[in-house]
Amino acid sequence: MRNNLTRSLLSFLFIFLFYFDLGQKNDAAKLIREGNHLIFKDPAKAKQIAKKLYDDANENSPQKINALLILAQADALLANYESSLQYALEAKDLSEKLSDQSYKIRIYAYLGYHYQRLNIQDKAWKYIDEAEQTIKTKPLPDSLSYLKGNLFFTKASMYQKELDCAYAINYFDQAIKAYHESIKNEYSNTNLGLAYSQKGYCELEINQLTEAESSLKLAISNSEKNSDVRNNIFAVTGLARVDTLHGNYARSNKVLLQQLRRAKEGNLKHLLNDIYKFLAYNYLKLKDTKNYELYDQLYKKSQLEFSKTEAGSINHIIKDASKNKQEKIYSKSLIAGIIVIIILLLSIIFIVLRIKNMKKRMKDQ
């Protein structure tokens, strides 16, 4: 059974956490930290904090950027994809006015991930390439290596989708290495666990069960240390898949049902979606028709709801792109029209002046 949880990790687990160094423990720094931590646990509360940060920022662009990224990620968790993208694009515009290149790298990486999740690959690669070019222009210190890790993580997920896991694992390894280089950074440590999880799922895809089990156990250990419930459920679900691939369907279901309860308690809709699918598969193998039909229907219903939300977001993006294109065409046409009018006026003036000169010469003669 092929792994289809990649989207879940990108949509609901991987996070571009950061906050700017204010040089002091002021209220804004504390709120930014609190907002970042609440993105997973209580995205609605995280949004409230971020809106206050944004309103209080005045001309403080770094504070606004942090607030906007919290809003973007919280809305992604709440499946508000359109507003999530708008917040991220506003953050991008602000970041491009700052001399600190790390802000651009963070935003470009996030936009790359966002478009990758929506399966808009050309835009995803555009922002990932821009982030990499920015890093090449001004290398990052070790303390910010987690930003490189974010890039490698996103590229790995993109290659996983476009090529295969054998190729993607190399980039997950690079992400893990980058996160280790700045392991003292709490955000690097959080995303390290996510990289282990996704690497483990990739190893499952190519039937490297021993390696997958090792990666997933590292992810579980990391998630327990960081109190990261989402990644813990994700990684434990991965271990349940190891049981499935070994033919231990009943034992796998026992674990999956536990994770289903935890996911429901945390309102983790996209994790629910895939757990339903795995349960249905196991019950099918166990020839338990009643439970197979139950979880298969739950999976299909959940998948349909997600697809509708995602489609709406993609259509909105396409409409915006079309609108921008039309505006550019109109702008170009307007400029061309103005140029033609100016040329005509200059021609008329030239002709009038020439006629006057000719009349003057005739009088002089």
Tell me the per-residue pLDDT of 319-333, one tens digit each, with 9 for 90 and over: 454 444 444 444 555
List the structure tokens of 18.
Answer: 């950061």
pLDDT level of residue 60 (50, 70, 90 thresholds): confident
- DSSP H helical segments within the chain, as ranges? 6-12, 27-41, 43-56, 61-77, 81-95, 101-117, 121-137, 145-162, 165-181, 186-205, 209-225, 229-245, 249-265, 269-285, 289-364
List the structure tokens of 23.
Answer: 């040089």
pLDDT level of residue 8 (50, 70, 90 thresholds): very low
Angle, alpha carbons 306-223-157 (nearest 5°): 50
Rounded to an integer, the average pLDDT of 34-59 is 88
Residue type, 47: K
Angle, alpha carbons 66-71-76 (nearest 5°): 130
So what's the pLDDT on residue 288? Answer: 97
Residue type, 172: F
List the structure tokens of 132.
Answer: 């990499």
- pLDDT above 90 covers what percent of the chain? 39
CB 212 within 8 A of CB 201: yes
Angle, alpha carbons 280-304-255 (nearest 5°): 30
Statement: 6-313 belongs to CATH 1.20.1260.120: no
What 3-state class would DSSP assign to 80? coil
Spatial separation of the C-alpha atoms in residues 343 and 294, rounded to whole Å: 73
Rounded to an integer, the average pLDDT of 235-259 is 97
CB 88 within 8 A of CB 76: no
Rounded alpha-carbon distances, angstroms, from residue 252 to 45, 241, 256: 34, 7, 6
Please identify which residue in the block is written with the tokens 């307007």.
334
- Within a 13 Å sphere around the CA of 255, how many CA atoms are in the beta-carbon half? 19
What 3-state class would DSSP assign to 25? coil
Dihedral class, residue 124 (left if φ above 0, else alpha if ψ from -120 to 50, else beta): alpha
> Domain map of the chain by residue range?
6-313, 322-365
Q: Is it the case that residue 266 has pLDDT exceeding 60?
A: yes
pTM over the 0.75 mark: no
List the structure tokens of 352.
Answer: 């009038």
pLDDT level of residue 61 (50, 70, 90 thresholds): confident
Residue type, 45: K
Nearest to 152 by CA among 116, 184, 119, 179: 179
Rounded to an integer, the average pLDDT of 15-30 is 60
Residue 154, number of CB atoms within 10 A of its CB: 28
Rg over alpha carbons for the chain, rounded to the nearest Å, is: 27
Rounded to an integer, the average pLDDT of 169-181 is 93
Spatial separation of the C-alpha atoms in residues 54 and 162, rounded to whole Å: 37
CB 131 within 8 A of CB 105: yes
C-alpha 292, offset from chain centre: 33
**Tens of pLDDT, residues 136-149:** 887 777 777 888 88
Dihedral class, residue 14 (left if φ above 0, else alpha if ψ from -120 to 50, else beta): beta
Rounded to an integer, the average pLDDT of 228-257 is 95
DSSP-derived letter for residue 226 is T
DSSP 118-158: TT-HHHHHHHHHHHHHHHHHSPPPGGGHHHHHHHHHHHHHH
